[in-house]
Structure 1
Amino acid sequence: MEADLGIQNVNLEKSENMERHRTEDFISSKELVVRRGAPFRVTLQLKGRLFNPKTDSLRIKVLLGRLYVMMPVTYSKKVSSSHWAAYIDPEDLNLQSPSIFIVSPASASVGCYSFLLCVSTQNGKKTCTLGKFNLLCNPWCREDAVYIPFEDQREEYVQNDSGLLFMGTAMNMVSRPWSFDQYEPSVLETCLNLLQVSPQHQKNKKMDYLSRNNPVYISRVVSAMINSEDDRGVLKGNWSGDYEQGVHPSLWIGSGDILRQWADSGYSPVKYGQCWVFAAVMCTVMRVLGIPCRVVSNFNSAHDTNANLVIEEYYNEQGMKLNFSKDSIWNFHVWVECWMSRPDLGPGMSGWQVLDPTPQERSAGVFCCGPAPVKAIKDRRIDLFYDIPFVYAEVNADVHAIVVSKGRVVSYDKDTEKVGSVICTKAIGFSRHKILTGDYKHIKSPTASLSSRSSTLSDDSTLRRARPSKGVSLKLILDKAPVAGEPVRFMVKVVNKQRVTKTMKVYLNAQAKEYNHSPSDTFWANQGVVQLAPMEAKVIHQQIFPAQYEDVVGDDLINLAVVLEDMATQERFLASEEFNIASPQLTIQIADEDSIVPRKEQTTTVTFTNTYSHPVSGILTVAGAGLIQGKIVYRMLPLSPGERSEQRITFTPIMAGTKMLQANLSIDKINATVRGFKMVSVHRA
């Protein structure tokens, strides 16, 4: 008597499926990784007799937690994109080891699935076997809510595992390399576990699993889970200046270390993050989940605590900026945009959506922000979800610059252009920025008057008395974007617009500041007197030397202000500029750049020239996802001013593609990091 039919083995055809689903770079994943809305193939190894399509039947049960769907395996390739289905290609039926295609709907929930495959025979006997797979969103599938129509966009916003974050100031943008690390070991699993650790899942597993079909829901959960304010989130924010209990936010170079540390600690928040760290880690999680994502920087970003679209900045009569207002302007603020359709908001609101994981204000009781359609921000559609008024203010508030003397307002000026002056992201396929400002706002004409907006100054009559004077025009102009090791050169241009001689007192003041804080104490000041004949223009040239700013500034910025006082009328005039000083760069050279292939050792040289006015030493760290496992760390011995240091490093790439090699030199005793990066093309062997 012949043995009855049974299942010996199931082959998940991992390499074939993952190549077809564009998940082949997740090579470290133990499980099969596939995208929704597209079939994947599993092959049965049967034992006993051959499979008989007329009398034997196959069924598949797919499970997500306790939710499941049962489906028969059919012999028709025609399947609906809205239901789970399984079929055997009738033209390719191998009775010894049949291939089954499993198709998930384009709106299936994201998560870690298991499936049971059961074969039943005519005499009622049944054998089953179990498999597992991770299911992600599918930006290549037209029916998926995250479908993005161009291949170069999918490569950049889903598959690219490195990028640039833009910081500094709009005048002197700094591009900081970042490794998203989505293909590094355990990162995929940690991103899926982030959904399991979320309060939504802990509270109601069934509702959470059902809601995970929707990128709007997923993105709100992730936005809240990146910070640790309301949950067991990934990162603890810290803007205090004291980072002894953890890592200074400037020292992170990629998301992998942060996500691994979070998972290894049993989901205790990693210390510490600031806006660009929160945004970059969120970008990693979204790209892993298959949702197109990019990191966006907003220069001069307003934090308008009282929602009146006005930010007040106060100065004393010597040009020192004062910490009087609860409102603030961050020199830059970093968030992410994710691409998705928004059927919940009606036509026209699909596309890029702002999400901000930095904990600033609560949204529906939780520290998260978005998804807010970029189109809705531009059109000020504050009736729509989510958090549009907050993001609108970040890019559109007016700035009132106020000089106070002995508790009295003595000068008042208004700037409608400063906030949201530049909004940008990394360009597709290039190591440079792409401007997005026009997507967020109707660029104002310089003459647009916004005097109807109210101010929160308590003494409105004083404010009216202190309207800008027509008597003198004052400008503060930097010669060029300042560079470390060189003097900061600037000029003050004063024009007497009246037909009377004026004697003016000039006060100059420089303070160091972090990007999101009021400045600290004055580190450089100067004053003098200027005589102006009727209708005369004068230019005053000034410079701040490296020895005066180097130990104070580091990675910080400088707030530079000039106040003029008319000796006859006591009128005051203010001009100010905030700027960063570009650090020196590390240069990275690779010996044989055109013949880099996986598993072949390469040599690179990292060079640093000390442009500081004093000797420096520090720690050099070199890393590169897909190029170097872990990190290479060296101690750099003291270098005199002008001296050069070269460090040779070997690395062995493990996967093909364009990869980023990063080098960071953390300089001792001053809060400064010198960075460099090089894009490396690893060719298929």
Structure 2
Amino acid sequence: MAVLLSSYLICFPGTDVDQCRLKLVNYEAHENHISHETQGLSKTHLVVRRGKPFKITLMFDGLWNPLIQSLVLEVWLGDMSERIRVQFSDEWSDPLRWTAKIYQSDMNPQSVTIHICSPVLSSVALYDLLLHVETKQYRKSYVVGKFVLLCNPWFKDDPVYMPLDVQTEEYIKSDYGLIYMGTPLNICRRPWSFGQYEPGVLDACLKLLQVSPQHLRDKNQDLIHRADPVYLSRVLCAMVNCNDDLGILLGKWQGSYKHGVNPTEWSGSADILHQWVSSNCSPVRYGQCWVFAAVLCTVMRVLGIPSRVVTVFNAAHDGDGSEKVEEYYTSTGEKLNLSKDSIWNFHVWVECWMRRPDLGSGFDGWQVVDPTPQEKSAGIFCCGPCPVLAVQQHHLTAPFDASFIYASVDADIIRLVVRDGLVVGRTVDTEAVGQLIYTKSMGSDKPENLTPTYKRKKRDQSAGTVRNTARRGQQPLIMMMNTNELGSSCSTAQSSLMGGVAGPSQSFEVSLDIDGVPTVGDSIIMCVTVTNQSNSSRVLMEYLNAQFKEFNNSPQKSFWKTRRKVYIKAGEVLKLNHTIPPSEYEAHLAGDDIVNVAVVMKDIRADKRVLAAQEFSIGSPQITTEIEGGDTIKLKDEHTAQVSFINTFLKTLSGAVLTVEGSGLLEGKHEARMFFLKPGEKIETQVLIMASSPGTKVLMATFSHSSCPNVVSRSFHTVSVMTV
């Protein structure tokens, strides 16, 4: 990368200034980008990391005489500048100031290489660089150009330093990740293309800083504070949502998405950032928690702050700070939408790695930063950075938002059974919230369980507490989003007698098992197990209820329910089997639904009630994607992708549509249509893909049909792009 120069001249009369003109500057971009681990981030700017020297080569038209001509660089940031006198030296001087030097070996009268080093706590920004050639008689100045300065996780004195290469490879350089979704016992994973090497993504991240309220309010103060990753993460967290500013994404969690994109259709950050820039900073419609988090992770990695996407299963939204969330059920097992707070089946946020000098070294390391607009923090919709260690150690006054984040992973659930306005049953579940906390492992597609880093085991609680001990010690089922590679699992929820601990003569337990993970078109098979631990027989009334719900909302009205009288002997264990056929639920599906099933077992004589509940998702039929020659392709080479769907239903599907798209691989969407797709019949399409940038890309396929328009199958296929 070399640039021609513009210049201006200050000199005394009669001075000969033509003997040494600067005609060209070579930014040595290829070598600098390799040295600074910034390859692929920009084709237009030199991109370097703070605290590490980079070099530029000056080419003169004539001879430069260092005995009478001094070289002075001037770095501009906003309205602030610093002059750097170029020196001959083999050692660096003050690490807190800009320095520039020439090695003796780099000395040539017509071509001089200057090594420039910024302070390790320089601001992340786009800088202007000037060169002054000065003598006692004149000064000639050249506008050299611009360069981008990023955080440096490879440098030990940078607050974002990570000691291991495998860490920086995963949390800075990797443009591919996995987002975990679903329910704790039925976990889905979907790939995400962070896209930091896509054209224009770095420029979008820099623009995000330039249009922040902090920059618009006081440009120079903002630029100064950008040296601090704590400040940066807080600004960027607020800017990913558009609630207070010119931010990137508008959130939407229910209703129609016809004026934008359904959040489930995004598979990468680059398209979102490009759309935001091209629309002059109008918010992109629409995002949900995993979209907000994935875009923030992209921005952080681009700017040099190590980051990863983290999923909390059964995340509590505790708006009143009580660290308790109440859930209400009817006496027949229907879940009610009465609580101001809620439990999300999963919630996705970001962890960023940095030192916390404001809190002390004990809180260095991973920090929670959550861009999903839920509650305001210091008057704006952002959350964090909060040390994960502060959450684990219950330091709830630690900035920022430790109390809210603690409740997200460790609040208690108070489940209340109500009848005629009265509470007739109550349990306290201390284990369900934050039951699992997952992120992608370093260098692997396996999940890393972060739960112990957030949570210490709670001591035994008082009477009436219920612990969710189902499947303890077993790994939950993990599947690629919307595929049939499910195997078999059994989900268990367990409850003891409500309303306090009864004596041995009257206690009994209820558990609820879901047989496997049903796919659309399968029956939902359940087993209610009742254990009579008392020394007398009982007459029970069983109420079983099923409702659909979105991952972050209370259930809708029941789509299926049943009841029956049950007789159980002393010490007996009864298994009560139930089946919900697909005809009972298909018409009620609305997309990526989760089913809430609850059983209330009432002791008729004692008027006591026991509740057990479970939530699980219904899988979608599989879409198959195959890349000619395998899943590793060469940059700029054309390859064929074959995408197909086989109708595994027992009925003909009308209006079948198979759609394929992929940022960085395809322009636009490609569709195949069939008026009727008979059972066992295949719909397929071939598309030509060509990668425009290296890294990992995601090819997304979607199948829909008019027979049940709310049911959509999606698959995500990763493609590795090599430069050679």
Give TM-score scaled by structure 1 length. 0.94
Per the alignment, do residues 518 and 595 of structure 1 end up closer, same or farther by CA in structure 2, a change over 3 Å counting?
closer
Deviates more, 1:354-363 or 1:34-43: 34-43
Deviation at 1:588, TM superposition (A): 2.0
- Alpha-carbon contact 1:7-1:127 (below 8 Å) kept: no
Deviation at 1:468, TM superposition (A): 5.1
Aligned to 1:41: 55
Deviation at 1:659, TM superposition (A): 4.1
Aligned to 1:644: 682
Aligned match for 1:546, one of 539, 561, 582? 582
Per the alignment, do residues 594 and 389 of structure 1 end up closer, same or farther by CA in structure 2, a change over 3 Å counting?
closer
Give me the whole-angstrom Cα distance separating, in 1, the residues matched to 2:238 and 2:463: 35
1:266-289 residue CA offsets vs partner (Å, 9 max, x unmatched): 112122111111111111111111
Deviation at 1:657, TM superposition (A): 4.3
Verify: 1:16 aligned to 2:31, yes or no: yes
Letter of the 2:641 partner, please give it: T
Deviation at 1:557, TM superposition (A): 0.3
SS, match of residue 95 in structure 2:
coil
Verify: 1:558 aligned to 2:602, yes or no: no
- Alpha-carbon contact 1:619-1:633 (below 8 Å) kept: no
Structural mapping, 1:519-538, within 5 Å: 519-538=555-574
Deviates more, 1:497-506 or 1:362-371: 497-506
Aligned to 1:608: 645
Verify: 1:680 aligned to 2:716, yes or no: no
Aligned to 2:206: 192
Letter of the 1:562 partner, please give it: V
Give me the whole-angstrom Cα distance separating, in 1, the residues matched to 2:444 and 2:422: 51
Deviates more, 1:182-191 or 1:464-473: 464-473
Deviation at 1:594, TM superposition (A): 7.8
Aligned match for 1:670, one of 672, 695, 709? 709
Deviates more, 1:307-316 or 1:371-380: 307-316
Aligned to 1:461: none
SS, match of residue 343 in structure 1:
coil
Per the alignment, do residues 321 and 452 of structure 1 end up closer, same or farther by CA in structure 2, a change over 3 Å counting?
closer
Unaligned 5+ segments in structure 1 are 454-463
Aligned match for 1:99, one of 113, 138, 152? 113
Give me the whole-angstrom Cα distance separating, in 2, the residues matched to 1:283 and 1:450: 43
1:202-256 residue CA offsets vs partner (Å, 9 max, x unmatched): 1111110000000000000011111111111111112232323322221222112
Verify: 1:598 aligned to 2:639, yes or no: no
Deviates more, 1:606-615 or 1:550-559: 606-615
Per the alignment, do residues 301 and 87 of structure 1 end up closer, same or farther by CA in structure 2, a change over 3 Å counting?
same
Q: Identical aligned pairs, as a percentage?
A: 46
Give TM-score scaled by structure 2 length. 0.89
Aligned to 1:456: none
Aligned to 1:483: 519
Give me the whole-angstrom Cα distance separating, in 2, the residues matched to 1:595 and 1:295: 24
- Alpha-carbon contact 1:118-1:129 (below 8 Å) kept: no
Aligned match for 2:64, one of 45, 51, 62? 51
SS, match of residue 170 in structure 2:
helix
Deviation at 1:526, TM superposition (A): 1.4
Per the alignment, do residues 465 and 552 of structure 1 end up closer, same or farther by CA in structure 2, a change over 3 Å counting?
closer
Deviation at 1:532, TM superposition (A): 1.0
Aligned to 1:292: 306
1:399-458 residue CA offsets vs partner (Å, 9 max, x unmatched): 11111111111111121110000000111222232110000011346x4448799xxxxx
Verify: 1:422 aligned to 2:459, yes or no: no
Give me the whole-angstrom Cα distance separating, in 1, the residues matched to 2:699 and 2:660: 7
Letter of the 2:224 partner, please give it: L
Unaligned 5+ segments in structure 2 are 1-15, 467-496
Aligned to 2:619: 582
- Alpha-carbon contact 2:36-2:48 (below 8 Å) kept: yes
Per the alignment, do residues 485 and 386 of structure 1 end up closer, same or farther by CA in structure 2, a change over 3 Å counting?
same
Per the alignment, do residues 269 and 646 of structure 1 end up closer, same or farther by CA in structure 2, a change over 3 Å counting?
same
Per the alignment, do residues 656 and 235 of structure 1 end up closer, same or farther by CA in structure 2, a change over 3 Å counting?
closer
- Alpha-carbon contact 1:509-1:522 (below 8 Å) kept: yes
Per the alignment, do residues 362 and 292 of structure 1 end up closer, same or farther by CA in structure 2, a change over 3 Å counting?
same
1:59-116 residue CA offsets vs partner (Å, 9 max, x unmatched): 1111111111111011114224322111112122121111111111111100111110
Give me the whole-angstrom Cα distance separating, in 2, the residues matched to 1:37 and 1:262: 32
Deviation at 1:597, TM superposition (A): 2.3
Aligned to 2:539: 503
Letter of the 1:675 partner, please give it: R
Letter of the 1:674 partner, please give it: S
Give me the whole-angstrom Cα distance separating, in 1, the residues matched to 2:519 and 2:632: 35
- Alpha-carbon contact 1:559-1:576 (below 8 Å) kept: yes
Structural mapping, 1:62-461, within 5 Å: 62-79=75-92, 80-444=94-458, 447-449=460-462
Aligned to 1:573: 610
Count of equivalent residues: 671
Deviates more, 1:641-650 or 1:361-370: 641-650
- Alpha-carbon contact 1:7-1:129 (below 8 Å) kept: no
Structural mapping, 1:458-477, within 5 Å: 466-467=499-500, 469=502, 470-477=506-513
1:326-372 residue CA offsets vs partner (Å, 9 max, x unmatched): 11101111100001111110121111000000111111111110000
Per the alignment, do residues 617 and 381 of structure 1 end up closer, same or farther by CA in structure 2, a change over 3 Å counting?
farther
- Alpha-carbon contact 1:547-1:613 (below 8 Å) kept: no
Deviation at 1:37, TM superposition (A): 1.3
Letter of the 2:717 partner, please give it: K
SS, match of residue 261 in structure 2:
coil
Give me the whole-angstrom Cα distance separating, in 1, the residues matched to 2:700 and 2:152: 30
Deviation at 1:535, TM superposition (A): 1.9
Per the alignment, do residues 542 and 616 of structure 1 end up closer, same or farther by CA in structure 2, a change over 3 Å counting?
farther
- Alpha-carbon contact 1:484-1:611 (below 8 Å) kept: no
Deviates more, 1:251-260 or 1:294-303: 251-260
Give me the whole-angstrom Cα distance separating, in 1, the residues matched to 2:256 and 2:353: 36
SS, match of residue 98 in structure 1:
strand
Give me the whole-angstrom Cα distance separating, in 1, the residues matched to 2:539 and 2:278: 67
Cα RMSD (Å) of the superposition?
A: 2.2
Letter of the 2:46 partner, please give it: L
SS, match of residue 348 in structure 1:
helix
- Alpha-carbon contact 1:507-1:527 (below 8 Å) kept: yes
Give me the whole-angstrom Cα distance separating, in 2, the residues matched to 1:282 and 1:200: 18
Per the alignment, do residues 620 and 72 of structure 1 end up closer, same or farther by CA in structure 2, a change over 3 Å counting?
farther
Per the alignment, do residues 125 and 228 of structure 1 end up closer, same or farther by CA in structure 2, a change over 3 Å counting?
closer
Give me the whole-angstrom Cα distance separating, in 1, the residues matched to 2:668 and 2:152: 32
Deviates more, 1:479-488 or 1:515-524: 479-488
Give me the whole-angstrom Cα distance separating, in 1, the residues matched to 2:189 and 2:592: 13
Deviates more, 1:372-381 or 1:113-122: 113-122
Per the alignment, do residues 376 and 616 of structure 1 end up closer, same or farther by CA in structure 2, a change over 3 Å counting?
farther
Give me the whole-angstrom Cα distance separating, in 1, the residues matched to 2:326 and 2:155: 48
SS, match of residue 596 in structure 1:
strand
Per the alignment, do residues 182 and 471 of structure 1 end up closer, same or farther by CA in structure 2, a change over 3 Å counting?
same
- Alpha-carbon contact 1:177-1:662 (below 8 Å) kept: no
Letter of the 2:314 partner, please give it: N
Give me the whole-angstrom Cα distance separating, in 2, the residues matched to 1:35 and 1:650: 37
Deviates more, 1:565-574 or 1:291-300: 565-574
Deviates more, 1:118-127 or 1:55-64: 118-127
1:523-570 residue CA offsets vs partner (Å, 9 max, x unmatched): 111111211122211101112222322332330100101111222232
